[in-house]
Structure 1
Amino acid sequence: MPTAARLVAGILLAVLGWILSDLIRPLLPDGTDFGWFNFVNAFLGLCIGWVVMGRRAGRGVVSAINNGVTGVAVLFIYGIAVHSCYEMFRLALLNRYDSPMEAITAIFLIASEFGLMIATFPVIITATIGALVVGLLTDSAAKRWR
């Protein structure tokens, strides 16, 4: 059921996904074709905010902070997973893998490389502050517009 909390969580997490994407771009190798990078991350934020955060809103301040941290953690996990799968498919089309199993295991290697590349102080601080803000504003929206 659509609620104001779901809408607020989706929009705010989409904005946070866009901001984090802009922070992550300089961390990736030179010559990387980003294409729809920001849009994919914003769409993931919208979906995760709507589904994960929106239904758990309105339970108090501590739950709001936990909700925001959970939403941002899920955003990171899904974002790394989606972009790792895309990178694996790109490399598979260039015949870099000998078997399907090698390609599937490459997803996890690529994901770990991406995770290490983006684990920097500005990204972590922005994600933490963003999680607090998104969680508290989502909780506020749930309480204000019932």
Structure 2
Amino acid sequence: MPTTGRFVGAVLFGALAWYTSLLIIPLFPEGTNLGWFQEVNTLFGLIAGWSVAGSRAGTGYVSAFSYGLTAMVAMVVMALFFNSTVVMIEQSLRRRYGGPGKAVTAVFELFMEYGSMMLTPAIVGTLVFGGIGAGLVVEFFAKRYP
């Protein structure tokens, strides 16, 4: 059921994903074709904000810290897994892997590679403080406009 908390959560976590994607793009090698990178990540932010933060909104400001961080982690994991899977499929179409087992293993290797690439103070700080801040704002709107 749509609520103000779900809507605000989707918008804020979508914006957080969009901005974080902008911070990540310069970390890729020059000339990397990122395609719909920002848009897909924004979609995962919308999903995490709606389903994780928005569904828990209205439970108090202390809870807002935890569901803000939970939504942020869910957003990052979904985006990393999806982007790693897309890269693996592109590479498997070029016959880079010797079999399906190696291709599946490559998804998790790419997941770890991209995850470690994101471990910069600017990106981690943006995600942590953005997740907490978005959780608090979601809670504010959920309490005021149920």
TM range (shorter): over 0.9
Letter matched to residue 9 of structure 1: G
> What is the CA distance between 1:46 and its match in structure 2?
0.6
> What is the CA distance between 1:68 and its match in structure 2?
0.7
TM-score (ref. length: structure 2): 0.97
Letter matched to residue 81 of structure 2: A
Deviations 1:46-99 (A, max 9, x none): 111111111101111110011111111111111100000000001001100111
Q: State the partner residue of 1:139.
A: 139
Q: State the partner residue of 1:24.
A: 24
Q: State the partner residue of 1:69.
A: 69
- Residue 41 in structure 1 maps to residue 23 in structure 2: no
Q: Structure 1 runs of 4+ off > 6 angstroms?
A: none
- Residue 110 in structure 1 maps to residue 110 in structure 2: yes
Deviations 1:107-145 (A, max 9, x none): 000111101111100001111110121000100111011
Identity of aligned residues (%): 39
Number of residue pairs the alignment of both structures matches: 146
Over the aligned positions, Cα root-mean-square deviation in angstroms equals 0.7
Letter matched to residue 55 of structure 1: S
Residues 55-66 of structure 1 aligned to structure 2 (within 5 Å): 55-66=55-66
Q: State the partner residue of 1:122.
A: 122
